[in-house]
Amino acid sequence: MNVSSTLFSERSTEIVTLATDWKSYDEDVFGKPRVDKFGDRLCFLRGAMTTNLANDGELICCAVLPENCRPSVQLNFAMIVVSPTGEVFCHVQANDFVSLCGVSFVASISTTQQSLKTGRNNFQFRV
């Protein structure tokens, strides 16, 4: 069995919901901010975004990920934090941009997904 073809055979792409006052940055180069999901749980973020908010580089919410692609714990990257609620927080100066490229993680298994996998309706398990 070819593991890589099994892991990457099912791919879906969804646009990331940007927070108010945020917009895509240089779509010709980076594309729109989006998440590629491979199989049930492997998520890769792509694209870049910018804001004109004067935030002095503080950590602020810049986007929200789809429910099916959220980590089970908070993940900290260089300028990005991804929360289990799907909120993406960024460190960025006004009129600068932040790239989502390189941010990848394993999505948590929801109660519904776990019930379907185990075939048990009354069993609840969260990762």
Per-residue confidence at 7, pLDDT binned at 50, 70, 90? low
Q: Does residue 59 lie in a domain region?
A: yes
Lowest mean pLDDT of 97-101, 103-107, 110-114, name the range. Answer: 110-114
DSSP string, 33-87: -EEEEETTTEEEEE-EEEE----TT-EEEEEE--TTS--SS-EE-SSEEE-TTSE
106 found inside a domain: yes
Provide the CATH number for the domain around residue 92.
Answer: 2.60.40.1830
Q: For residue 120, what pLDDT is reported?
A: 44
Q: Is the pTM of this model over 0.95?
A: no
What's the pLDDT tens digit per position in 92-103?
A: 887 889 999 999
Confidence band (pLDDT; 50, 70, 90) for 91? confident
Cα separation of 119 and 17, whole Å? Answer: 32
Mean pLDDT of the chain: 82
Number of domains in the chain: 1
User: Which residue range(s) make up the domain with 29?
Assistant: 3-118
Report the distance separating Cα 14 and Cα 60, nearest Å: 22
What would the pLDDT profile of 28-56 be if each residue is shown by its tens digit? 999 999 999 998 889 999 999 998 887 77
Among 44-48, 70-74, 106-110, where is mean pLDDT lowest?
106-110
Flag whether 127 is in a domain: no
- Is position 83 within any domain? yes
